[in-house]
A = this chain, B = another copy of it.
Amino acid sequence: MHSFKLTLAYDGTRYSGWQFQPGCLTLQETLEQALAKITGETIRVIASGRTDAGVHALGQAVSFRSDTALAPAVLLKALNAELPHDMAVLAAEYAAANFHAIASAKRKRYRYLLCDGPVRDVFARNYAWQLHTRLDDAAMHRAAQALVGKHDFASFETSGSERQSSVRTVLELTVSRGGAAPQISPVGPPHGCPADFVSIEIEADGFLYNMVRAITGTLVEVGQGKRGEDWPREVLAACDRRAAGRTAPAQGLVMLRVDYGL
């Protein structure tokens, strides 16, 4: 029995999210079916985070165990031949026997992409939240710094979660226009203008359910001038989801990477 770690990229547009649901197209089932076809085994995979419908990944981490004699490099090629074109295995490796994609994770990094150009970007429609007013990205960045550090993020957690604690440590929270997300539009200049995109990158030791999207919805209200720069600090202190802004739509979110401190 081997323990494996996969790093996956996927375009979440077509999928009802990561987690298996009967009658729905899910990323988990698609990967498990490809593994079954290749190894002949019934394999359960565990992802570092169960992304929602429409959420993307550039570096999702997955763990599983298998009796397969296939080397990781062979498994990678076989999986990429089997998977649909909106999923790809970027890396496959043997992992420690006790490696677990959720329990072993030390830090995760997400990006949320906003588009605020004068006309919608047709190539970003599945990859950004398109807003119709120009955002004050500098004010958003300043306001966001109140969330950096170890805090109770209950105000930014969608209820119904079973997590025991809503305390998390945000290591970095950067709001930037253009430069930080140099490759946004699949078809590029002259009209896929970097200056029309604002990216929010967040790295933390863990995330609550919908945390990045609730933080984004809150920062957008600051960027639109509807709320002052002190507001996110007040929302955080309230420890009440009703205090925060709306949950930003799924398609702007991408899981960038998971660090295991290996």
Please list the residues of chain A having a beta carbon within 8 angstroms of any beta carbon in chain B.
Answer: 9-11, 56, 58-59, 76, 80, 85-90, 111, 113, 119-128, 181-192, 194, 254, 256-257
Once A90-B119, A119-B90 are accepted as A-B contacts, the answer to whether A85 and B125 lie under 8 Å apart by CB is yes
Number of copies: 2
Is B188 in contact with A122, judged by CB distance below 8 angstroms? no
CB-nearest residue of chain B to A91: B119
Is A187 in contact with B254, judged by CB distance below 8 angstroms? yes
Is B186 in contact with A59, judged by CB distance below 8 angstroms? no
**Sample of 22 A–B contacts (CB below 8 Å):** A9-B123, A10-B122, A56-B123, A56-B187, A58-B188, A59-B190, A76-B119, A80-B119, A80-B120, A86-B125, A87-B122, A88-B122, A111-B188, A126-B186, A127-B186, A181-B188, A182-B182, A182-B188, A182-B189, A182-B194, A183-B192, A184-B186
Residues on B with C-beta less than 8 A from A56 are 123, 187
Residues on B with C-beta less than 8 A from A184 are 183, 186-188
Residues on B with C-beta less than 8 A from A257 are 190
CB-nearest residue of chain B to A255: B187
Is B120 in contact with A58, judged by CB distance below 8 angstroms? no
Instruction: Output the least CB separation between A170 and chain B (Å).
Output: 20
Residues on B with C-beta less than 8 A from A190 are 58-59, 256-257
Instruction: Output the least CB separation between A33 and chain B (Å).
Output: 17
Residues on B with C-beta less than 8 A from A192 are 58, 183
Which of B58, B85, B125, B189 touches A183 (beta carbons < 8 Å)?
Answer: B189
**CA–CA, A125 to B83, complex, Å?**
13
**CA–CA, A87 to B186, complex, Å?**
15
CB-nearest residue of chain B to A181: B188
With A11-B122, A183-B183, A183-B185 already in contact, 19 other A-B pairs whose C-beta atoms are closer than 8 Å: A11-B125, A59-B191, A76-B119, A80-B119, A85-B120, A86-B122, A86-B125, A89-B119, A90-B119, A111-B188, A123-B127, A127-B186, A128-B186, A182-B188, A182-B189, A183-B189, A184-B186, A185-B186, A186-B186
Is A90 in contact with B123, judged by CB distance below 8 angstroms? no
Instruction: Output the least CB separation between A244 and chain B (Å).
Output: 25
Instruction: Output the least CB separation between A199 and chain B (Å).
Output: 8
Which of A124, A126, A190, A191 has the most chain B CB within a 10 Å cutoff? A191
**CA–CA, A190 to B254, complex, Å?**
12
